[in-house]
Amino acid sequence: MLVYILKRIVYIFCILAVMSVLIFAITQALPGNVARMILGEFATVDQIQAIEEKLRLNDPLPLQYWRWVSALLTGDLGDSLVMERPVAPLISLSLQRSAILAFMSLFCVASIGITLGVIAAVKHNRAPDYGISFFSYLGISVPEFFWGILIILFFARYLGWIPATGYVPLSEGFGTWLSHLIAPVATLTLTLLANISRMTRSSMLEELGTNYVTAARAKGLPERVVLFRHALRNALLPTITVLAVGVGWLFGGIVVVETVFAYPGMGRMLLFAIEHRDLPLIQAGILIITAIYSLSNLSADLLYAYLNPRIRYGRTIA
Amino acid sequence: MAEQLLNKDQTKVRPKRRRLPANLIVGGMIAGIVVFLSFLAPLLAPYPYDQMHVESLLQPPSAEFWFGTDEFGRDIFSRVLIGALPSLTMGILATGLSLLIGVPIGLAAGYNKGRIDEIVMRTMDLIMSFPPIILAMLIFAVTPPSIWKAAGAIGLVWVPVMVRVTRSVTLDLMQEEFIQAARARGEKVVYILIFEILPNAYPIIIVQASIRVTLAILLAGTLSFLGFGGQPPRSDWGLMISEARPFLDAAPWIAIAPGLAMSFTVIGVNLFGDGLRELFDPRLRGRGRS
């Protein structure tokens, strides 16, 4: 097991190395020149040369890459070109805000999705099952940015229950802070919910048809115990895999949701950076998101191994 | 073959006689209507998509403007109709591209177990370890946006999925006697791959492709919504919704009309894909996005 984890961590570093080369190559090989991007269209030749001197843009590319990477490794992410501040604190702040969104949504998706899936499986081919299937279908088919807009229109504009957009720091009160999170979390939850509930439903149905469930019922165990202690435990394994895939979707979803609700997180900052061609911010942002993505995939795999006694990575793979 | 599988797995629900799944028919009809409208849009649209009616800005739906007008007085109904084609094109192009690259690689990897397979699969793992939207954004970070590039980015990101699916079917088929017979006859590799393996592998590949089309339409909508797709004054659904956001209070229909059109399309293609799945492989049922 330990060997497996170490292997995976080494692999993550390989991915980050490849990604760093890729990011650097793409951002350097772009049409047009960095100095001109910073200064705008009307820059004079002198100004461009001055900037190029300052940023040492005329050095050979491998040297520039090395300088960038070695700075990264010491924790120096560079300065934002547009905001003229160090990138690291900017990123860490927006990362925290995005993480709040991500964890709350994952929690909602897992708890609500699994509950709905179990209900649908228990009430198989009856009204609740059909109802849940119908709403799962809607959840999958309506794009998340449209869900966001529908939520704004109905709950914020029409009913006036929650603020439509924006973000308020926790220091201004728990209630207002939470009320700004409801809409984005609900949107993310809606789009991911369907996969979880469908997966739970189908694996739960499968488990309910097995002999051990019949045996447990025959023993006279209360239905609650049969459902949750026996069937659900085994039914959750495939659900966890789907949940791990959902984390990948969450990364895309967060970018969209932060745009719709004007929520100042990582996704919105990355979009801002791309719009303004703020290279250091783009480079650091993408690299960090890749790292988090790889780590979350690893933790999903480890969780799966931990929960499934039939898989022990140490023996089978390493 | 499909019939046997149907009867084995779902003894209760399905009648014995082979029938097309209802999903397939309903979904096919919805998708057909959308495709039909998207091609005839220039003829059906009551106004040119960029014609501004200065005297009627932000009008609610009426007999004159069925879905209302936007902040420039452009007819929303016409714009939704015209916007169908780019949205569909992106979905189909992206899927086509991933098929075109992924299927041959998958066939080759499945056929040559060993080093080639190993190299291909590790490369695919590598591609899959980047979050898709980030790859797309990396491309747009440095080049001006366009719908072609959006479709290309999505297509490339999905190559690994196609490779994996094709490879696993190929691996299974390689065990079959007819393949061994073909090899014993001394058929060329290309012949075996195209005429022996592909005809037997296509149901699973097609089912996967149908899932990908809906995801591509959604993802392409997302990219245009974020400003990485078609550029104004062109209209595609994601862009229309994005442009409608400042006017949500005064004119919610600007956002609702393209949103409903997109949801309707995706529901249709989703149903169609589910129907295909039931037709070809009932064991795949019950899984969602992947």
Reported confidence tier of residue B245, pLDDT bands at 50, 70, 90:
confident
Q: Looking at residue A234, what is its pLDDT?
A: 80
Q: How far apart are CA B211 and CA A309, in angstroms?
A: 32
Do A105 and A29 share a domain, yes or no?
no
Is A52 inside any structural domain? yes
Q: In the prediction, which pLDDT does A317 show?
A: 41
* Band of residue A105 on the pLDDT scale cut at 50, 70, 90: very high
The verdict on whether omega for the bond into residue B144 sits within 30 degrees of 0, i.e. cis, is no
Question: Is the domain of A24 the same as that of A108?
Answer: no
Residue A306 has pLDDT above 80, yes or no: no
Do A35 and A100 reside in the same domain of the chain?
A: no
Task: Give the whole-angstrom CA distance, residue B57 versus residue B51.
Answer: 12
B153-176 pLDDT per residue, tens = 888 888 888 898 899 888 888 888
Per-residue model confidence as pLDDT tens digits over A3-27 = 888 888 888 888 888 888 888 877 7
Q: What is the CATH number of the domain that holds B215?
A: 1.10.3720.10
Question: How many beta-carbon pairs below 8 A join chains A and B?
Answer: 141
Q: How far is CA B245 from the centre of its chain?
A: 26
| A249 contacts B134? CB cut-off 8 A | no
At A312 the pLDDT is: 55
Assign B290 a pLDDT band (cuts: 50, 70, 90): very low
Sequence-ordered alpha helix ranges (H) in A209-278 = 211-218, 223-225, 232-260, 266-275
pLDDT score, position B287:
42
Residue A300 and residue A207 share a domain: yes
Residues A147 and A206 in one domain: yes
pLDDT, average across residues B182-196:
87
A38 shares its domain with A175: no
Angle at B267 between CA A192 and CA B45, to 5 degrees: 130
| Residue B22 resides in a domain | no
The Cβ of residue B25 has, within 10 Å, a number of other Cβ atoms equal to: 14
How many residues appear in chain B? 290
Q: What is the mean pLDDT of the segment spanning B134-147?
A: 73
- Cα A54 to chain centroid distance, Å, stands at 36
Q: Which of A155, A158, A154 is nearest to A179 (CA)?
A: A155
Q: Is residue B163 part of a domain?
A: yes
pLDDT, residue B91, reads 86
Q: Is the CB of B143 inside 8 Å of chain A's CB atoms?
A: yes
Interface test with A, best of B30, B134, B240 (most A CBs within 10 A): B134
Per the structure, the count of domains in chain B is 1
Interface contact A248, partner B, CB < 8 A:
yes
Are A143 and B267 within 8 A, CB to CB?
Answer: no
B267 and A199 within 8 Å at the Cβ level: the answer is no
Min Cα separation B267/chain A (Å): 5
* Chain A residues with CB-CB distance to B132 below 8 A: 248, 252
Q: Which residue has the tokens 């293609």?
A: B269
Q: CB distance B225–A23 less than 8 Å?
A: no
Say if CB A288 and CB A12 are below 8 A apart: no
Q: Is residue A219 over pLDDT 80?
A: yes
Query: Which residues of chain A from 128 to 147 reach within 8 Å of chain B, CB to CB?
Result: 136-138, 140-146
Spatial distance between the Cα atoms of B276 and B21, rounded to a whole number of angstroms: 8
Cβ distance B226 to A260 less than 8 Å, yes or no, reads no
> What CATH number is given to the structural domain containing A133?
1.10.3720.10
Tell whether the model's pLDDT for residue B265 goes beyond 80: yes
Q: Do the domain assignments include residue A237?
A: yes
- Show which of residues 172-231 on chain B sit within 8 Å of chain A, judged by CB atoms: 214, 218-219, 221-222, 225-227
- Domain-located, residue A316: no
Is the confidence at residue B100, as pLDDT, over 90? yes
Mean pLDDT of chain B: 80
Cα separation, B202 vs A89, in Å, equals 51
Closest partner CB to A26 (pick from B138, B218, B241) = B138
Rounded mean pLDDT, B8-13: 50
Classify residue A318: in a domain, yes or no.
no
Residues in chain A within 8 Å Cβ distance of B248:
149, 152-153, 157
Same domain, A197 and A50: no
pLDDT tops 90 at residue A228? no
What is the pTM (predicted TM-score) of this model? Answer: 0.80
Calculate mean pLDDT across residues A150-177. Answer: 82
Q: pLDDT for A232-267, tens place per residue?
A: 888 887 787 777 777 777 877 888 899 888 889 888
- Kindly list the distances between the CA atom of residue B80 and the CA atoms of A149, B41, B209, B261, in Å, as whole numbers in the listed order: 17, 9, 26, 7
Is B51 part of the contact surface with chain A (CB cutoff 8 Å)? Answer: no
Is there a contact between B24 and B275 (Cβ–Cβ < 8 Å)?
A: yes
Going A144 to A147 to A152 to A153, the CA torsion angle's sign is positive
- pLDDT number for residue A107: 92
Domain stops at, among A42, A73, A104: A73
- DSSP code at position A74: T
∠ CA B170-B176-B179 to the nearest 5 degrees? Answer: 75
- Chain A, 31-70: which have a CB under 8 Å from a chain B CB? 31
pLDDT at A40: 66
Cβ-nearest to B262 among A146, A273, A274? A146
What is the residue-wise DSSP string for A283-294? HHHHHHHHHHHH
Question: Which residues span the domain enclosing A65?
Answer: 2-73
What's the token pair of residue B253? 């229909």
**Per-residue b/e over B101-116, b at no fewer than 16 CB within 10 Å?**
bbbbbbbbbbbeeeee
d(CA B140, CA A243): 28
- With a cut of 50, say whether residue A109 has pLDDT above it: yes
Q: Cα(B59)–Cα(B244) distance, rounded to whole angstroms? A: 13
pLDDT at B99 over 90: yes
For residue B89, the enclosing domain spans: 29-285
Confirm whether B20 is domain-assigned: no
Rounded to whole angstroms, how far apart are CA atoms A139 and A160?
23
Looking at CA atoms only, how far is residue A53 from chain B in angstroms? 22
> What token pair was written down for B200?
């037997």
Q: Does A106 touch chain B (CB under 8 A)?
A: no
Residue B21 lies in a domain: no
Residue B23 lies in a domain: no
Residues A33 and A176 in one domain: no
Question: Which residues from A are below 8 Å from B141, CB to CB?
Answer: 26-27, 273-274, 277, 282, 286
Number of structural domains chain A divides into: 2
* B1 occurs within a structural domain: no
Tell me A263's DSSP state: -
Cβ partners under 8 Å of residue B5, min gap 6: B281, B282, B283
Q: Which tops the pLDDT comparison, A257 or B11?
A: A257
Domain shared by A171 and A223, yes or no: yes
Tell me, yes or no, whether A262 and A139 share the same domain: yes
Q: What percent of chain B has pLDDT over 70?
A: 89
Closest CA to B206 of B96, B87, B88: B96
Question: B27 to chain A nearest CA, in Å?
Answer: 12
Asked whether residue B2 is domain-assigned, the answer is no
Which of A18, A19, A141 is the closest to B263 by Cβ?
Answer: A141
Q: What is the pLDDT of residue A108?
A: 93
Contacts of A137 in chain B (CB under 8 A): 267, 270
Q: Which of A13, A23, A149, A257 to probe the B interface (max B CBs under 10 A)?
A: A149
Q: In this structure, is residue B3 part of a structural domain?
A: no
Q: Do both A43 and A120 map to the same domain?
A: no
Which single residue is written with the structure tokens 């491998």?
A62
pLDDT of residue B286: 44
Backbone angle region of B20, left / alpha / beta, with phi > 0 → left and psi within -120 to 50 → alpha: beta
pLDDT at B103: 92
Does pLDDT of B270 surpass 50? yes
- Closest chain B residue to A275, measured at CA: B141
The arithmetic mean of pLDDT across residues A70-76, rounded, is: 80
